[in-house]
Amino acid sequence: MNVTEASIEVTAIPLTDIEPNPDQPRKFFDEAKLEELAAQFRSVGQLQPIVVRMVGGDKFQIVMGERRWRAMHLVEGATTIEAKVVSSVDDEQAFVMGISENIGRADMTLMEEAQAYADLVGFGYQAERIAEMFGKTTDYVRWRMDLLNLTTDIAELVAEGKIKADFAWYLSKLSPANQKVAVTRYMKGDFKTETDASTFAQALRMKENQEGFFSEKELSEKEKEDKAKERKQAKGKVDQVERAGTLLEELAKMTPSELADLFEGEVGKQLDAVERVRKAAAEAVKKLRKAKAMSEAKQLTVRPELEVEPEEGEEEPSEAEIAEVAAEEPLEAELETAA
């Protein structure tokens, strides 16, 4: 049921006769934004009425428009507010209408959105239906509700906007102990990018699920020699990459006309070569970022639910297992927007 389907009457109601809905999904109201709206009311008046319903015989409860109601209290001399009075609206319908108004608002926090979806589930709605109601994908709704697995203090940081959506979701998959580990590093500024933070959280999750990713078995002398040789060769390749990077930096300093003159007749060929390097470098960076996170996670002493040293004898997961875990994770863009 929506507002247009209800019996509607528009009237001016005393502010004192109206109370907010205690089940209002949005709990945070930006004081600066409220003052901006109040200034608009002072200048041009109330352009859009709020929506209320009768409760207790002589009182009204807000169905939609609590922000406007709060802002009107800031207008000097204001005693009434224009409102649409709807009838035949029960608690569930009022709640759904309230969510409909707030979903998508810039000032609705991630945690308020997550709780709103969860409350609808409590009313018996399925994630698929909720997604359809609000123009989201089913996965989007489920990912938001996953945020309710965050510890209280971390959820507050998310609500305050100090932790972004994608990293928050990866945190929600961790044990409380590892949530704290990851957030402590995040708040200290240990990660250069949001992607680095999310990758570290993924590595912690893998550690929880698989209890380590590097073999701790004792190597034979021959195996140690082979490992040392592999490491030396790998470092040598990195040295070559650095030299290639220096050459590319020199090319980047040249103007297009200089490059056209330098590679006359072969510009396309050189462009293809550099493009191959760019793609390979991007893939290498992606894997090295994950390797760095795995290495850092391995060094931590905090394990799922327990603060103890990790046991030995744990095996590194296969590439297939890593790929399987990665396939389960949402893309960053999907976490920030809904289809």
Q: Which of 5, 9, 66, 101 is catalytic?
A: 66
The span from the CA of 63 to the CA of 70, in Å, is 14
Answer for the pair 80, 15: CB distance below 8 angstroms, yes or no: yes
Radius of gyration of the chain (CA): 28
Please report which residue ranges of the chain form alpha helices under DSSP H. 31-44, 66-72, 91-102, 110-122, 127-134, 138-146, 152-159, 165-172, 176-188, 194-210, 221-252, 256-262, 267-299, 319-328, 332-336
The residue to which tokens 């103890």 are assigned:
308
- In the DSSP assignment, the letter for residue 103 is T
- The residues, any chain, with a CB within 8 Å of residue 72's CB and separated by 6 or more, are 15, 38, 41, 46, 78, 81
Best CA proximity match to 96, nearest among 114, 80, 119, 73: 119
Clarify whether 66 is annotated catalytic. Answer: yes
Answer for the pair 176, 143: CB distance below 8 angstroms, yes or no: no
- The residues, any chain, with a CB within 8 Å of residue 129's CB and separated by 6 or more, are none
Best CA proximity match to 40, nearest among 13, 73, 75, 77: 75
- In the DSSP assignment, the letter for residue 13 is E
The structure tokens listed for 75 are 């207008």
Phi-psi region for residue 305, left (φ > 0), alpha (ψ -120 to 50) or beta? left
Best CA proximity match to 184, nearest among 148, 157, 149: 157
**Which residue numbers are catalytic?**
66
